[in-house]
Amino acid sequence: MCLYCDTFGGDTIWYLNPKAYGWRMYKIRERENPDAEVTMVNPGIVDWEPISEIIRFEETDPELYRKKLDNFSEHIGAMSKMQVVPIQDAEKIMEISRLPSSLPCMCRWIYRGILPQSKEEFSCGGLGTSMFRWERWPERYKNAHACGGVDFMSVEEGKSWLRHVNERGFVHCVGHEIGYLNMICNCNYPECMIMRFRLDYDIKGGLLKAHYIALVEKDECVGCLSCAHRCQFGALRYNPNFEKMEIDPYKCFGCGLCETACPSGAITLERRERFPGLRDNW
Ligand code: SF4
Ligand code: SF4
Ligand code: SF4
């Protein structure tokens, strides 16, 4: 079990605990999190040292550099806690939360200036009643406002939307603030800010690996390379000696994108906790 499970999970994975979606958790998050209003849609009040300043110390003072990164990691964790989930669990999340919605992605807007032309292109997901807050503060959801607003969906529509973004190659991540689960992001490197922090600077505060790792059944792999472009984490490697795909379990984040692309069923997801060398590798 990951550190979120230890705090919020009860006897299950934390995001499968229905309490994580309750209004009560929303109020606790407001009360206990001094940074609760610091979110990606409201970044204006962030006053901690930006990463662009911190990286100046990488060569001149490595010790201070690491210390500053750790401090940054703590702040980013207070702003947004996310965990990678495969589509099977993302669909369960849709069923438990009961009120999925989609909206345009803030990271892609900030990083690339991408604004979707239609709601079919929305890639960020909101969950539960708290998403109605966008109507109270449209100025904080500027990109959604510019695209005609948040799109509220039925559970079945939400699951079908997830399959669509999965096919496009986005990594599903659930997000919470002090245990209140309110978003299902669909991310990619390098546009996603949280993925960049994790992959470029090893800042773990914002993004944990999934509860799973992917394994290739060598006898089933026909070396077709259909999965090769799907991994955002550099964990997949084609071995020309055997004409098979291989997965580095330490790099694997357990997103399952390779699994959904494999036509031979050669890739399976296994619980991370099953492997002693990986169970603490979040
Ligand atoms: S975390 Fe992912 S989906 Fe959410 S805003 Fe960033 S890239 Fe977009
Ligand atoms: S190897 Fe597969 S499951 Fe692991 S991170 Fe890459 S795409 Fe995701
Ligand atoms: S998609 Fe499946 S069969 Fe094709 S290379 Fe990848 S693991 Fe092997």
Task: Report d(CA 72, CA 51) in Å as an integer.
Answer: 8
24 — pLDDT class (breaks 50, 70, 90): low
pLDDT class of 23 with cuts at 50, 70, 90 = low
User: pLDDT tens-digit profile of 143-153?
Assistant: 888 888 899 99
Residue 44: what pLDDT?
47
Stronger pLDDT, 129 or 9, i.e. the higher one: 129
Domains of the chain, by residue range, sit at: 3-47+79-208, 212-274
For residues 32 and 131, which has the higher predicted lDDT (pLDDT)?
Answer: 131
Instruction: Answer whether CATH 3.30.110.30 is correct for domain 212-274.
Output: no
For residue 71, the CA-to-ligand 1 centroid distance in Å is: 22
Q: Would you say the CB of residue 252 lies under 6 angstroms from ligand 2?
A: yes
User: What are the pLDDT digits (tens) for 207-220?
Assistant: 999 999 999 999 99
Name the closest ligand to CA 143. Answer: 1
- Residues 192-203 pLDDT 10s: 999 999 999 888
Choose from 78-92, 141-155, 179-193, 211-225 the range with maximum mean pLDDT. 211-225
Expressed in angstroms and rounded, the spacing between residue 115 Cα and the centre of ligand 1 is: 13
pLDDT in tens, 217-236: 999 999 999 999 999 999 99
Tokens representing residue 199 in the block = 């992959």
Based on its alpha-carbon atoms, the radius of gyration of the chain, rounded to whole angstroms, reads 19
Question: Which ligand places an atom closest to the C-alpha of 125?
Answer: 1
Say what the pTM is: 0.89
Measured in Å, residue 264 CA sits from the centre of ligand 1 at 31
% of residues, the chain, pLDDT over 70: 90
pLDDT digits (tens, 9 = 90+) for 38-74: 444 444 445 578 888 898 999 999 999 999 998 888 8
Pocket of ligand 2 contains residue 185 by CB under 6 Å: no
